[in-house]
Structure 1
Amino acid sequence: MKETEKRPLSWFWKWFLNNQAVTSLLVVLLVLLILFMFTKVSYLFEPIWQFLAIVGLPIILAGILYYLMNPAVDYLERKGIKRIYSIFGLFILVIGLIVWGVVVIVPKIQEQSMSFVENLPGYLDIIENKVNEILSDPIFSQVQDQLEASNEKLIASMTDIIQNLSRSTIQNIGSFFGAVATVVLAVITMPFILFYLLKDGRQLAPYFVKFLPTKMRKPSLTVLKEMNDQVSSYIRGQLTVAFAVAIMFMVGFSLIGLDYAITLGIAAGFLNLIPYLGSFLAMVPAVFLGIVGGPVLLVKVLVVFVIEQTIEGRLISPLVLGNELSIHPVTILLVLLTSGKLFGLVGVILGIPVYAAAKVIITHIFEWYTTVSSLYEEETESNVQQE
């Protein structure tokens, strides 16, 4: 039998696919070209952005609840309960929890929030008196003069800001009602989207993949499964940690006698959805109240914070989240800063799961490239020889 002769590599393969420097340069140029073209024709995407602004909120809310409820639905289905009955049962449970929260928790939060607003001027007076006591020392006389001058400028600036805010509020009242309408629409449509996600969610990936060429279907399913695993583990883990953080802060603040413990704990839980920064942001009002209450209360607040951070970092987060995402903390901070700058609060909350999904796609593209290019063969062979 004659040996099959190898076909000579084309010039494109030799100079582009098999040249790491040229390939990297082409990728960079392609990305820059796409960004440049996007800035020139961004107006073409305005209808798309408007459409996403309308349908995006209910889809995002339904997706989050889907990842929370789907494991329970799967578990009940494995126990012999029909999937449709499991979904309706969970819907009734969730509605019951929402009603309980509206009846019990919301009035408490409203009461504590109104009390805080009413007492805020008194709190500020207490802090001002304490600062004046410290600055009454002759050593701080120059600093006090500078602070008084800065205080006058700050008051003038705050007055201007309030006036501008009042004018902008009147001017943007139409936008406010538009936002309210969007939220109401999301609340109405979200349960229907969630129902069909729970009922037919497992069929979505095979349905979309069947439109791809036959050779691409299996790897595409693999990529979609990994993306789903990454996003679902992050959402469930992050919400579980946030719930645990809220409980710990509520219990801790209640034990030390800090005012507004329930409101501060719930706020800490929501803010904890922002990785690394949420807990520290939640401590700002708690530390403020600790300063108002005196040195002993401030120390107690800091002790609660240290205990919470220790339990969260050493026990809850490793147990719930683990190292599923394998994302460096510096990368997380950069993603948060970028997504927050571009998309605001929604970007801060969704930036990490979107990055995790994109990372899966890029990783598989890179793995495909290593199979079609011989750039990495020498490294593999040298490693084998060294072993």
Structure 2
Amino acid sequence: MTGSQRWFFLVVSLVLCGSVYLLAPILTPFLAGALLAYLCDPMADRLENWGCSRTTSVVIVFAFLTVLMTAVFLLFLPNLGRQIQVLVQQIPEVFQLVENRFLPWLQVNLGIDPAAIDMNMLKQLILKDWQKTGDIMAQIAAGITRSGLALAGWVANLVLIPVVTFYLLRDWDVMMDKIQRLLPRNVEPRVSLWANECDEVLGAFMKGQLLVMFALGVVYAIGLWIVGLDLALLIGMLAGLASIVPYMGFIIGIAAAVIAALIQFSDPTVLLWVGLVFAIGQALEGMLLTPLLVGDKIGLHPVAVIFAIMAGGQLFGFVGVLLALPVAAVIMVLLRHLHEGYKGSSLYTHEKPEDSSIS
């Protein structure tokens, strides 16, 4: 790569970052549409291989997505709202459980004096923050209701997402080909190699791990529902979302399920069934879901995922969260190639280039 090409790519990168920063308030529907188009492109390509035209393939995929999202809204959201109300009603019972069982257990087994923990202050703090959160949500809802312009903006964003997804999915292969043709010929093979590696990383995570998260959420929710837990759907979905980091979903889910089961049933034997549900979920993840949906592809490290999401949200808000994983994948690929170059350079071997070439 020549010096002028390096400056060109540096300027383009700075312009893109500046544009994202300045246009972040309006980018959400476009980035969400691009993400959905990226995830659905393999399905459209497969339908094309079966003889369908690109437009027909996109229409089929788009219709499937529409039916799926409609079913989710109609089936899950009302039940999820009711379970959140049940959770709010059970907050006082959680405090009673802590006072009557957890604190005495700490005193007997760890020698911790329950008087050292000010439960009244803890109650006031949590209830105050909960009330504050409710007040904030009420203010937001009232503001949206009062402002017709804000409401119109929310509706426009929701409508834009499927529109953007449809057109990006229809022209996805054409856009990728044009971007490839725009690259300088001397750097195109290397950039294409990096792009393929980035796609492999993102494919392993977004097209695999996200499906594993959803499947685990469904398994946990159904299992806890069979046990009879009132908060089965809420805890199952929470555990599935937390599975973005390995074992975190299991830890958070089983902890929440144990507390909810003790409050609802007051019978320790039900904990055996709760543990069985999560044991089955972990077995399915290790033996079936991860090998089938993710395989041995290269994925993002869990710590890199957490840091990328938090850093993206801190720098660019919700737009940064949407961009976090693709940017993290690109940085991971670049760092891997930089590491390989460093290991082969004189900085690492302490040899002069001419000496290393002779040897």
Deviation at 1:245, TM superposition (A): 0.2
- Are the aligned partners of 2:31 and 2:322 in contact in 1 as well (CA < 8 Å)? no
Aligned mates of 2:123, 2:209 — CA distance in 1: 40
Partner of 2:75: 104
Partner of 2:222: 251
Partner of 1:51: 23
Q: Does 1:315 align with 2:285?
A: no
Aligned mates of 1:260, 1:328 — CA distance in 2: 31
Partner of 1:302: 275
User: 1:184-333 alignment to 2 at 5 Å?
Assistant: 184-292=155-263, 293=265, 294-325=267-298, 327-328=300-301
Deviation at 1:320, TM superposition (A): 2.0
- Are the aligned partners of 2:32 and 2:161 in contact in 1 as well (CA < 8 Å)? yes
Alignment counterpart, residue 115 of structure 2, candidates 136, 145, 150: 145
- When residues 66 and 276 of structure 1 are mapped into structure 2, their CA distance, relative to the original with a 3 A threshold, is farther
- Are the aligned partners of 2:33 and 2:164 in contact in 1 as well (CA < 8 Å)? yes
- When residues 136 and 166 of structure 1 are mapped into structure 2, their CA distance, relative to the original with a 3 A threshold, is same
- Give the number of the structure whose alpha-carbon radius of gyration is greater: 1
Q: Which amino acid aligns with 2:224?
A: F
Deviation at 1:92, TM superposition (A): 1.8
- Mark the runs of 5 or more structure 2 residues left unpaired by the alignment: 1-13
Q: Does 1:121 align with 2:89?
A: no
- Are the aligned partners of 1:227 and 1:357 in contact in 2 as well (CA < 8 Å)? yes
- Are the aligned partners of 1:58 and 1:189 in contact in 2 as well (CA < 8 Å)? yes
- Mark the runs of 5 or more structure 1 residues left unpaired by the alignment: 1-37, 39-43
CA shift digits 1:123-175 (9 cap, x unpaired)? 543554435776898x97x823323xx12332443465467657766877759
TM-score, structure 2 normalization: 0.74
Deviation at 1:65, TM superposition (A): 1.9
- Are the aligned partners of 1:273 and 1:349 in contact in 2 as well (CA < 8 Å)? no
Partner of 1:11: none
- Are the aligned partners of 2:211 and 2:293 in contact in 1 as well (CA < 8 Å)? yes
- When residues 283 and 66 of structure 1 are mapped into structure 2, their CA distance, relative to the original with a 3 A threshold, is farther
Deviation at 1:82, TM superposition (A): 1.1
- Are the aligned partners of 2:310 and 2:321 in contact in 1 as well (CA < 8 Å)? yes
Q: Which amino acid aligns with 1:53?
A: P
Of all paired residues, the percent bearing the same amino acid is 28
Q: Secondary structure of 2:230's match?
A: coil
Greater shift in the superposed pair: 334-343 or 252-261: 334-343
Aligned mates of 2:50, 2:298 — CA distance in 1: 31
Aligned mates of 1:319, 1:352 — CA distance in 2: 22
- Are the aligned partners of 2:239 and 2:253 in contact in 1 as well (CA < 8 Å)? yes
- Are the aligned partners of 1:336 and 1:351 in contact in 2 as well (CA < 8 Å)? yes
Aligned mates of 2:321, 2:261 — CA distance in 1: 28
Aligned mates of 1:344, 1:160 — CA distance in 2: 26
Deviation at 1:180, TM superposition (A): 6.5
Q: Does 1:154 align with 2:122?
A: yes
Q: Which amino acid aligns with 1:51?
A: L
- When residues 223 and 352 of structure 1 are mapped into structure 2, their CA distance, relative to the original with a 3 A threshold, is same
Aligned mates of 2:106, 2:346 — CA distance in 1: 70
Q: Secondary structure of 1:259's match?
A: coil
Deviation at 1:248, TM superposition (A): 1.5
CA shift digits 1:199-254 (9 cap, x unpaired)? 11112233234333321223222222322232133211012101220222023212
Q: Which amino acid aligns with 2:113?
A: V
Partner of 1:26: none
The alignment of Structure 1 onto Structure 2 pairs a total of residues equal to 336
- Are the aligned partners of 2:41 and 2:172 in contact in 1 as well (CA < 8 Å)? no
- Are the aligned partners of 1:274 and 1:349 in contact in 2 as well (CA < 8 Å)? no
Aligned mates of 1:353, 1:283 — CA distance in 2: 31
Partner of 2:10: none
Aligned mates of 1:274, 1:329 — CA distance in 2: 5
Deviation at 1:341, TM superposition (A): 5.9
Deviation at 1:264, TM superposition (A): 2.4
Q: Secondary structure of 1:215's match?
A: coil
